[in-house]
């Protein structure tokens, strides 16, 4: 693992060379000047307000996303769905989710991540609220629910790429870890809230209430964000705004190919792919592991405790990484340290699950694994913003698309291993191997210097399609 080294806050050789030659920093269209003027960083108080708002938005995102899995059993009984039909409804979300990752990031880089996030939140919030109406008034509920889940995936797929784009343009390097880790903890908070409150509403008021409340709250969040943070600014994304360069300079498509040939860019893609695959596998199979291994255990224990651990762990990783960077430690080394905890140390506790025989020990190991996994919010998830802030949204979209596809493949393959070997050790061993592959790649090739700079010409180009 890389040793942390202290440097000055502006120690990047590329940026220092640019500062020394200001005449070369501006291309024919003045790209450096445009980028500096239009991407003013938030002040610390403003950044804190946005952090809370984005945390709440991510929480509601997961409340709306998990509403269907929570209500699936009740809806299957109501509409006489088979297991296969229920699986088709639940799985349709994934296909929509994959298709809009890159597009959402690309548009966010052009017009601003806050606009994309606002429009998508209003749309998927309304879709969630209208889900019971579609189910009751459509002659084929299985068709309407499958279509609505697919559209939900399309609309929610732009959230994280737009978040990455917004953070790269508005947050200083030494505070990105805290913002991303705090906002990332919203996914665990949302899962807890909808799992607890949603289950209670399901029992008391029926499955429809879960969709109504989560959907309307999401629309209300989007309205408050538009009214009080964007000051009522029109969130309309026009063809003119997409066609114009906006805050970015438009350069040939071949620069995207040069970007993907950078070892550091390939490293973040591969590492995120491995991180997402192992996380999806654990998320999908841990409940089954507990039911098979400890059939008398109470489900709320292993479904709740690991997420309670994950929230403070995610917050701690963000504070730690930002503190180290603000103290002058090398940014790349800090990112590698966070990823070492996320993929290296967590794998140790994953392997401990192979030989555990008691329920409390298993819960403790799973909680440690899930808690340490959240350190990636301050590692590879932020590193993409270090490398290419001018196209961080689109690049994060590529990463998330690859991670989602490989995650589904790994979940299916893990099920195959369980059936053929009859041992959970094979699954935990697979997770460890994938983690070590991603960690080795990241430690070997990860950097924190900008690679969306044309070093040959000494100009500050922003990569754009």
Which domains are present in the chain?
1-38+249-465 (1.20.1250.20), 42-247 (1.20.1250.20)
Tell whether the model's pLDDT for residue 23 goes beyond 60. Answer: no
Task: Calculate the alpha carbon distances from 440 to 112, 271, 343 in Å.
Answer: 34, 9, 10
**35 with 460: CB under 8 angstroms?**
yes
Structure tokens at 324: 């180290």
**25 with 32: CB under 8 angstroms?**
yes
Tell whether the model's pLDDT for residue 162 goes beyond 80. Answer: yes
Helices 44-79 + 207-224 axis angle, to 10: 160
Span 89-133, pLDDT tens digits: 888 888 888 889 999 998 998 888 999 999 999 999 999 999 999
Question: How long, in residues, is the chain?
Answer: 465
State which H helix or E strand residue 445 sits in: helix 425-445
Tally of CB atoms within 10 A around 226: 20
How far is it, in rounded angstroms, from Cα 169 to Cα 39? Answer: 6
Per-residue confidence (pLDDT) for residue 84, from 0 to 100: 80
Find where tokens 């697979």 sit.
430
Per-residue confidence (pLDDT) for residue 253, from 0 to 100: 57
Beta bridge partners of 6: 329
Structure tokens at 279: 């996380």
- The mean per-residue pLDDT over the stretch 55-76 comes to 92
Beta bridge partners of 459: 454
Beta bridge partners of 454: 459
8: left (phi over 0), alpha (psi -120 to 50) or beta: beta
How far is it, in rounded angstroms, from Cα 58 to Cα 190? Answer: 7
Tell whether the model's pLDDT for residue 9 goes beyond 60. Answer: no
Per-residue confidence (pLDDT) for residue 391, from 0 to 100: 87
How far is it, in rounded angstroms, from Cα 332 to Cα 247? Answer: 27
Give the burial class of 231: count Cβ atoms within 10 A of its Cβ; 0-12 exposed, 13-18 middle, 19 or more buried.
exposed
Tell whether the model's pLDDT for residue 30 goes beyond 50. Answer: no
Residue 238: CB partners within 8 Å, gap ≥ 6? none
User: What DSSP assignment string belongs to 193-220?
Assistant: HHHHHHHHHHHHH-HHHHHHHHHHHHHH
Per-residue confidence (pLDDT) for residue 405, from 0 to 100: 86
pTM above 0.85, yes or no: no
Supply φ then ψ for residue 457, to 5 degrees.
-100, -5
Classify 454 as helix, strand or coil.
Answer: strand
How far is it, in rounded angstroms, from Cα 445 to Cα 447? Answer: 7
Q: Which of 443, 98, 450, 411 is nearest to 271 (CA)?
A: 443
Comparing 3-12, 328-337, 442-451, the range with the smallest average pLDDT is 3-12
- The mean per-residue pLDDT over the stretch 255-284 comes to 90
Pure H helices in 80-225: 83-99, 101-111, 113-137, 141-156, 159-170, 176-205, 207-224
What's the Rg (C-alpha) of the chain? 22
How far is it, in rounded angstroms, from Cα 372 to Cα 366? Answer: 10
């Amino acid at each position: 693992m890389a040793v942390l080294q202290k440097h000055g806050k502006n120690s990047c050789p590329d940026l220092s060379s640019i500062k020394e030659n200001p005449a070369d920093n501006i291309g024919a269209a003045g790209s450096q000047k445009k980028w500096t003027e239009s991407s003013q960083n938030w002040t610390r108080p403003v950044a804190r307000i946005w952090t809370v708002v984005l945390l709440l938005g991510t929480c509601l995102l997961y409340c709306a996303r998990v509403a269907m899995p929570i209500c699936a059993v009740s809806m299957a009984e109501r509409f006489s769905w088979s297991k296969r039909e229920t699986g088709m409804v639940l799985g349709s979300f994934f296909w929509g989710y994959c298709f809009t990752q890159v597009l959402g990031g690309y548009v966010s880089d052009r017009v601003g991540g806050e606009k994309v996030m606002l429009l998508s939140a209003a749309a998927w919030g309304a879709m969630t609220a209208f889900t019971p109406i579609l189910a009751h008034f459509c002659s084929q509920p299985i068709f309407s629910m499958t279509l609505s889940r697919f559209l939900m995936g399309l609309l929610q797929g732009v959230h994280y790429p737009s978040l990455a784009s917004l953070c790269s343009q508005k947050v200083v390097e030494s505070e990105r870890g805290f913002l991303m880790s705090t906002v990332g903890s919203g996914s665990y908070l949302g899962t807890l809230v909808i799992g607890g409150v949603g289950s209670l509403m399901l029992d008391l008021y029926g499955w429809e209430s879960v969709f109504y409340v989560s959907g309307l709250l999401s629309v209300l969040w989007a309205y408050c964000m538009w009214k009080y943070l964007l000051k009522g600014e029109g969130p309309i994304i026009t063809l003119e705004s997409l066609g114009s360069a906006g805050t970015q300079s438009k350069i040939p498509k071949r620069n995207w190919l040069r970007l993907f040939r950078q070892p550091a860019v390939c490293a973040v893609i591969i590492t995120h792919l491995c991180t997402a695959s192992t996380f999806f596998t654990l998320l999908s199979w841990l409940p089954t592991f507990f039911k098979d291994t400890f059939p008398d255990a109470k489900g709320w224990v292993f479904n709740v405790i690991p997420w309670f651990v994950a929230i403070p762990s995610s917050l701690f990783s963000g504070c730690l990484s930002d503190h180290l960077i603000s103290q002058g430690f090398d940014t790349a080394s800090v990112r590698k340290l966070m990823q070492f905890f996320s993929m290296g140390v967590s794998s140790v506790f994953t392997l401990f699950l192979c030989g555990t025989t008691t329920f409390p020990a298993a819960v403790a190991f799973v909680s440690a694994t899930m808690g340490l996994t959240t350190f990636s919010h301050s590692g590879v998830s932020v590193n993409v913003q270090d490398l290419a802030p001018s196209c961080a949204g689109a690049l994060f979209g590529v990463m998330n698309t690859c991670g989602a596809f490989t995650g589904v493949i790994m979940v299916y393959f893990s099920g195959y291993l369980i059936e053929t070997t009859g041992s959970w050790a094979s699954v935990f061993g697979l997770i460890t191997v994938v983690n070590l592959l991603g960690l080795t790649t990241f430690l070997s090739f990860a950097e924190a210097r900008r690679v969306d700079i044309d070093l040959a010409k000494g100009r500050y180009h922003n990569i754009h399609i």
